[in-house]
Amino acid sequence: MSVCCGGGDGYRLKLSPLCSVLPNSEPYGRDMYAIVVKICTSIALLLLVAASEDDIKPLAGNKIVKIVALFNENDDSVNQLAYNVSAKIVNIMDTVLPKNRIVQRSEYVVNDMYNVTRVVCDTLKLGIAAFIDGTDDEDVENVIRSISTRTQIPFIETHWKKFHRPPDPYSINIYPDPLLLAQAIRDIILDMDWESFTAIYQSPESLIRLKALLMHFDYGQKAPGKSIKIIQIPPTDDFRPLFKELKLSGEKHIILDYEVEHITHILGQAEEVHFMGDYQSYVITNLDAHTLSFEEFHKSMANITLIRLIDPENQHVRNAVEEIVFNEQKSGRISALSPNTIKTKTALMYDAVNFFATSLHGLVATQAMGPTRIACDDIKPWVHGYSLINYMRVMELNGLTGKMRFDTETGNRNYFKVDVVRVQESKKHRLGSWDPLDGMTLTRSASEMNLEFAQSITNKTFIVVGKLVQPYLMKCNATEKGMDKDEECFEGFAYDLVEEMAKYNGFKFKFTTNQDYGTMQKTGKWSGMIGELQSMRADLAICDLTITFDRRNAVDFTTPFMTLGISILYAKPEKKKPQLFWFLNPLSFSVWMYTATAYLGVSLFLFMLARMTPFEWELPHPVKPGDNMMENSMTLLNCLWFSIGSVLCAGCEILPKITPNEWHDPQPWKDGNNELETRLNVANLIWFSCGTMLQQGSDISPQAVSTRLVAGMWWFFALIMTSSYTANLTASITSGRLETPIKNVDDLSKDSNIQYGCYEEGSTASFFQRSNLSLYQRMWSVMEASNPTVFTKSNQEGVDRVLKGKGRYAFLMESSSIEYQTERNCNLMQIGNTLDSKGYGIAMPMNSPYRTLISESVLRLQESGFMRELKDKWWKVQGDNKCEEEDESDELGFTKIGGVFVVLVLGCLIAFMFSILEFLWNIRKVAIEEEITPKEALILEWKFAMKCDGGVKPLRRRHHADTNSDTS
């Protein structure tokens, strides 16, 4: 742009070089263009005066190097003091510019382009080597940058760039690159595992620092509005309504991007509405927040995190602060500056001088150089400016703000390190650091942080909410516990668990109750215990609270303290009393009838075939002279005996013939023999018993092919029936299990006679409702369609309904609760295995700082066996109230097989009765044949029977035998 400024008396001065360094006026409109014209006119008059002076001389070869820093009129004097002290220290040190001396100059400007231009042009006449911006004003900076580019004099900036602009070849910024600083804030937030937050900022420029964080969460695209909120509030507004709203919404993470002088005021308002508690976390992005005193918040438990560019423990920082304070005292002023209160801008002004001096020192070591006086009306670029700015961009320096490294193209500072500081009890503790190369680095181990945190909660009183449900939490008698009668007294598994953790960690606790687990409302908030945690009215929630996906998205959970699953609670069927004739159970009544019919039919058929076939007829043995008759051993009685003997496998080669029928003529028969004999002597009796045990066959054996085929088929039938009967008898007698109509959830879903349901607002209902398995979907449809409803208002209602249903209702609930109920009610039982696997956990507000501590306590108690002992204490029943365990022993009791003994005794009695009848019938025959009285015959036979000795008996039919002999 070429502008000609007019003067009086037709004087005209062409200021093309000067006007060319001013900002382009077109974007600012016609008013700004008029201002530029006026500035040019004024500068022309000044240059006319300056041209008459003769004191402007080139400084080439001069060892004095001049630099200029521009400050606002209302700027902090500490920044200028740091600028001056840094120049003095450089001049004193022999290692930096030993042959040169820096002369620093300070200029104060207002936000007026004419004033800025005038000051810059005046300084150019002095011959300067660098501009240092200390104004933090974008408009002033634009004027200086334009003149710096035209004159090729390096321009050192000390504040961040609020707006993106093309790279300036002659400027360098020692303030951290805003984009990298935004990455640092993002990584710090992510390291804290924040899933939601609210960012409160002051000006639109603050969004540059939050840009990387918002991009990571896809703010405005995928991120839900309830997870991330961005709120701009002027510092004069009242923040208390906002903090109240955030507290009600459950928000706990706040990012504050404000000027440092407003931060304590904002935090004070948050504390007034009780928004500075255990669960609130604040991240303050202002790099000067470390200079604040948080003494007024020493009782606050809020987690306040700061970031800083200056390390107060650094010796370089301490030395610089001491030098600044010393110069103040030397001037008769008292300074409160300390390593903990030095601001970032002050440190950057100090570093700017040191950075320039170190760069110049490196350059003059290779070439001779010196500043040049420049006039704005005839600008001639500084010949050494290009070399100096390039050297600055490749140099590294450790200053008060840490190591500095720059981008060679843009001149932006691309390396710096920020410390992450936590404020705890008004004291600042360094947690770690961040730099562009290594990212987030923690300086303290997790164990050290957990130890410090554990020590900080010794005075904490936890509000624990629970549901009155056995055996987790129950009310007790306060007087029996040694408490005031008006004080609430609790006991149970949950109470003992929290009490043990409190003893180990040193905190206190107080129990409250809420009979609702919690459900999500239409507003997105939860009711019940989950709602109390979300609103932070409670610190912990413990009962039979299942860890589910929805609940985990609303609150945090510890490691599960109990693992369980859904199972079926069912009424135990009445145990069948042992029957006397239980041995008849293996075969049904119809099978017994069919077997008896088959026995009679085969016996008759065998008798008929034996009568028909000639091979079953044979001469009697022994053959007697004159015998011309054949006999058949397969009589009807023998066929019946043969058939029953084959079934019972109880015969042997010796067939018992009771009483007189066991005595017969000796074989072979001899003339004149008058004695009878029997084969049931002692040896034969032993052989008979062994044969019976070894299941030998009868001595009656079919001879014909037809009868043997019938006998073989009957034996096969008898073998199958006997084996089947034996197997079923064993299973029937030795089984001690109760027979139930259902064995698992499949049987339950198929049995239309049994209704089933669950607690309507619990995790069990959610499991069936959201399951993808067709079986569970079908069961849920059946439960929803049932009328009357099968859902219950509590688990206890479901237990009562199972007891009243007597096998017509099954209740689906957690296995741990089923175990508790079956221990106390002997009429209940668990059916099948668990349908899923889940756990009970201790719930707490989202991102609770106590999550790690409580989880570690749960793991420690599990490993020590305390959990097992505690569960046995509240689940197991001791004493007389304990349910008797079912006897599943394989030993048979008399009650199960007593019927066999009854049959044995009854058979023996019947046999004894037949023996008496046979004995009496034989007495009658002997009396007739011996021609004696029945009494004499009875005495003779009884005396012989009672001897129990000998196997030979005299023949009582002597007369009959003699008569037959005489006749023959």
What pLDDT digit, counting tens, does each position of 671-707 carry? 555 556 655 554 455 434 434 443 445 456 677 777 7
63-175+345-412 CATH: 3.40.50.2300
Question: Mind listing the pLDDT tens digit for each residue in 213-258?
Answer: 888 887 755 544 457 889 998 877 889 999 998 888 878 899 999 9
Average pLDDT of the residues in 413-424: 92
pLDDT higher than threshold 50 for residue 661: yes
Question: Mind listing the pLDDT tens digit for each residue in 495-532?
Answer: 999 999 999 888 899 999 998 888 888 887 899 999 99
| Of 470, 565, 560, 552, nearest in space to 867 by CA | 560
pLDDT higher than threshold 50 for residue 946: yes
Asked which of 40-49, 423-432, 534-543, 767-776 is least confident by mean pLDDT, the reply is 40-49
Asked which of 378-392, 543-557, 838-852, 871-885 is least confident by mean pLDDT, the reply is 871-885
pLDDT band, very low/low/confident/very high, at 487 (cuts 50, 70, 90): confident
pLDDT value of position 450: 67
pLDDT value of position 923: 82
d(CA 175, CA 347): 10
pLDDT band, very low/low/confident/very high, at 657 (cuts 50, 70, 90): very low
pLDDT band, very low/low/confident/very high, at 17 (cuts 50, 70, 90): very low
Q: How far is it between the farthest Cα atoms of the chain?
A: 202
pLDDT value of position 39: 44
Q: What are the φ/ψ torsions at residue 134 (nearest 5 degrees)?
A: -120, 20
pLDDT higher than threshold 80 for residue 961: no
Residues 6+ apart with CB under 8 A from 153: 124, 128, 129, 130, 131, 147, 170, 374, 382, 385
d(CA 448, CA 441): 15
Give the C-alpha distances (Å, rounded to integers) separating 413 from 69, 343, 396, 432, 437. 20, 18, 10, 21, 13
Looking at 589-704, list the stretches that DSSP marks H as alpha helix, in order from N- to C-terminal side: 589-612, 636-648, 682-693
Average pLDDT of the residues in 376-398: 88
d(CA 567, CA 818): 8
Asked which of 25-34, 437-446, 825-834 is least confident by mean pLDDT, the reply is 25-34
Question: What percent of the chain shows pLDDT beyond 90?
Answer: 27
Structure tokens at 550: 């929805």
Average pLDDT of the residues in 752-760: 90
Looking at the DSSP assignment, which residues form a beta bridge with residue 462?
509
Other Cβ atoms within 10 Å of 131 Cβ, number: 26
- DSSP class of residue 660 equals G
Average pLDDT of the residues in 356-366: 85
Question: Mind listing the pLDDT tens digit for each residue in 790-812?
Answer: 999 888 899 999 999 888 999 99
pLDDT higher than threshold 80 for residue 115: yes
Average pLDDT of the residues in 585-599: 84
SS3 at position 693:
helix
d(CA 779, CA 786): 11
d(CA 872, CA 245): 46
pLDDT higher than threshold 50 for residue 455: yes
Candidates 3.90.1200.10, 3.40.190.10, 3.30.365.10, 3.40.50.2300; correct CATH number of 456-564+849-873?
3.40.190.10
pLDDT higher than threshold 60 for residue 31: no
pLDDT higher than threshold 70 for residue 331: yes
Average pLDDT of the residues in 301-330: 90
Indicate the helix (H) or strand (E) that contains 490: strand 490-491
d(CA 616, CA 193): 102
Sign of CA dihedral 522, 528, 532, 533: negative
| DSSP secondary structure string for all residues of 199-219 | EEESSTTHHHHTHHHHHHTTT
Mean pLDDT estimate for the chain: 79
Average pLDDT of the residues in 535-544: 90
pLDDT higher than threshold 50 for residue 46: no
d(CA 267, CA 243): 10
Looking at 735-849, list the stretches that DSSP marks H as alpha helix, in order from N- to C-terminal side: 745-750, 763-770, 774-785, 795-805, 815-824
pLDDT value of position 662: 55
The answer, yes or no, to whether the previous bond of 845 is cis (omega within 30 of 0) is no
pLDDT value of position 524: 78
Q: Is residue 684 within 8 Å of 638, Cβ to Cβ?
A: no
pLDDT higher than threshold 90 for residue 933: no
Q: What are the φ/ψ torsions at residue 128 (nearest 5 degrees)?
A: -110, 160
SS3 at position 109:
strand
pLDDT band, very low/low/confident/very high, at 965 (cuts 50, 70, 90): very low
pLDDT value of position 41: 37
pLDDT band, very low/low/confident/very high, at 370 (cuts 50, 70, 90): confident
pLDDT value of position 741: 84
Looking at the DSSP assignment, which residues form a beta bridge with residue 424?
427
Looking at the DSSP assignment, which residues form a beta bridge with residue 756?
810
Q: Is residue 282 within 8 Å of 199, Cβ to Cβ?
A: no
Asked which of 149-163, 280-294, 353-367, 887-901 is least confident by mean pLDDT, the reply is 887-901
Q: Is residue 127 within 8 Å of 143, Cβ to Cβ?
A: no
Structure tokens at 148: 């710096």
| Of 150, 81, 84, 90, nearest in space to 117 by CA | 150
pLDDT band, very low/low/confident/very high, at 299 (cuts 50, 70, 90): confident
Structure tokens at 127: 């011959």
Q: Is residue 567 within 8 Å of 818, Cβ to Cβ?
A: yes
pLDDT value of position 236: 77
What end-to-end distance do the CA atoms of the chain give, in Å?
A: 176
pLDDT band, very low/low/confident/very high, at 725 (cuts 50, 70, 90): confident
Q: At what angle do helices 851-863 and 446-456 cross, to 10 degrees?
A: 100
d(CA 320, CA 400): 8
Candidates 3.40.50.10860, 3.40.50.720, 3.40.50.2300, 3.30.1050.10; correct CATH number of 176-337+417-446?
3.40.50.2300
Average pLDDT of the residues in 478-486: 72
Q: Which fold has domain 569-573+741-836?
A: D-Maltodextrin-Binding Protein; domain 2 (3.40.190)
Q: Angle CA(475)–CA(481)–CA(482) in degrees, nearest 5?
A: 135
| DSSP secondary structure string for all residues of 283-333 | EE--TTGGGS--GGGTT---EEEEEES--TT-HHHHHHHHHHHHHHHHTT-
Q: Strand locations in 113-179, DSSP E? A: 128-134, 155-157, 171-176
Looking at the DSSP assignment, which residues form a beta bridge with residue 830?
569
Question: What percent of the chain shows pLDDT beyond 70?
Answer: 78
Other Cβ atoms within 10 Å of 435 Cβ, number: 16
pLDDT higher than threshold 50 for residue 562: yes
pLDDT value of position 49: 31
pLDDT value of position 417: 94
Question: Mind listing the pLDDT tens digit for each residue in 123-162?
Answer: 888 889 899 988 888 888 888 888 999 999 999 999 887 7
pLDDT value of position 265: 92
pLDDT value of position 663: 58
- Starting at the edge strand that comes first in sequence, how are the strands of the sheet with 128-134 ordered? 101-109, 64-72, 128-134, 155-157, 171-176, 412-415, 402-406, 397-399
| Stronger pLDDT, 94 or 24, i.e. the higher one | 94
Residues 6+ apart with CB under 8 A from 596: none
| Stronger pLDDT, 721 or 400, i.e. the higher one | 400
d(CA 954, CA 944): 10
pLDDT value of position 929: 79
| Stronger pLDDT, 766 or 687, i.e. the higher one | 766
584-620+630-665+677-732 CATH: 1.10.287
- DSSP class of residue 226 equals T
